[in-house]
């Protein structure tokens, strides 16, 4: 339900969804909801994943790239903000890369974790501990937006810089 709410919310606000281009899982649900609500959806997928028939075929635009590094780089370049839904290793990889890039000053875009049913509570506690022990610089911990409601998350993202994607 949170994935569908996020997709509908993105479309309702005239934002563009930029994501990994898959048709399965929560991100596929976000894309489907955004498209159903008349939104624009741009996917970036590797040839390997597309060849495994995981690519979404109904997107506004689908970029096919050679590597995961190229995929993440292209998504990061095109996005004005980042929101992660609950996920596994790939999601955690993307979250931490984006957070590390923010800490290094590579970007200053908002980063949000949609804390559906408390999924990210342990990660929030870990980041709080890393901050207390001075492993995070400046205000990087407080810049990570944690919300359980998709619409509240989108409003906080907009308030932090009014992104279009």
Q: Residue 72 belongs to a domain with what CATH number?
A: 3.40.50.450
SS3 state of residue 55:
strand
Task: Enter the tokens of residue 126.
Answer: 């870990």
Instruction: Give the model confidence (pLDDT) of 63-121 as tens digits.
Output: 999 999 999 999 999 999 999 999 999 999 999 999 889 888 898 899 999 999 999 99
Beta bridge partners of 129: none
Grouping H, G, I as helix, E, B as strand and the rest as coil, residue 60 is coil
Question: Are residues 73 and 147 both part of a single domain?
Answer: no
pTM of this structure: 0.90
pLDDT tens sequence across 50-60: 988 789 999 99
Last residue of a domain, one of 58, 79, 100: 79
Rounded CA-CA distance 61/57 in Å is 9
Specify the number of domains making up the chain: 2
Beta carbons of 101 and 76 less than 8 angstroms apart: yes
Which domain does 126 fall in, by range? 80-160
Phi, psi angles (nearest 5°) of residue 70: -65, -40
Listed residue (71, 79, 66) closest to 22, CA to CA: 71
93 and 72 within one domain:
no
Q: Residues 65, 1: one domain? A: yes
- End-of-domain residue from the set 63, 79, 95: 79
Q: What is the pLDDT of residue 144?
A: 87
Residues 6+ apart with CB under 8 A from 111: 81, 82, 83, 95, 98, 99, 102, 143, 144, 145
**Cα–Cα distance between 83 and 155 in angstroms, integer?**
12
> Does 165 reside within a domain?
no
For residue range 2-11, list pLDDT tens digits in order.
Answer: 999 999 999 9
**What gap in Å lies between CA 56 and CA 10, rounded to an integer?**
18
């Amino acid at each position: 339900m949170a994935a569908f709410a996020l997709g509908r919310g993105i479309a309702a606000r005239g934002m563009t969804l930029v994501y990994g281009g898959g048709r399965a899982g929560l991100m596929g649900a976000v894309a489907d909801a955004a498209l159903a609500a008349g939104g624009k959806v741009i996917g970036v997928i590797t040839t390997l994943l597309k060849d495994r028939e995981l690519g979404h075929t109904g997107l506004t635009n689908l970029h096919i790239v050679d590597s995961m590094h190229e995929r993440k780089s292209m998504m990061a370049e095109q996005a004005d903000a980042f929101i992660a839904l609950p996920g596994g290793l790939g999601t955690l990889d993307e979250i931490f890369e984006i957070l590390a890039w923010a800490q290094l000053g590579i970007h200053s875009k908002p980063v949000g974790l949609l804390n559906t049913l408390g999924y990210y509570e342990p990660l929030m506690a870990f980041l709080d501990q890393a901050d207390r022990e001075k492993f995070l610089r400046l205000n990087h911990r407080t810049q990570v937006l944690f919300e359980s409601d998709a619409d509240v998350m989108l409003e906080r993202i907009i308030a932090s810089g009014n992104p279009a994607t």
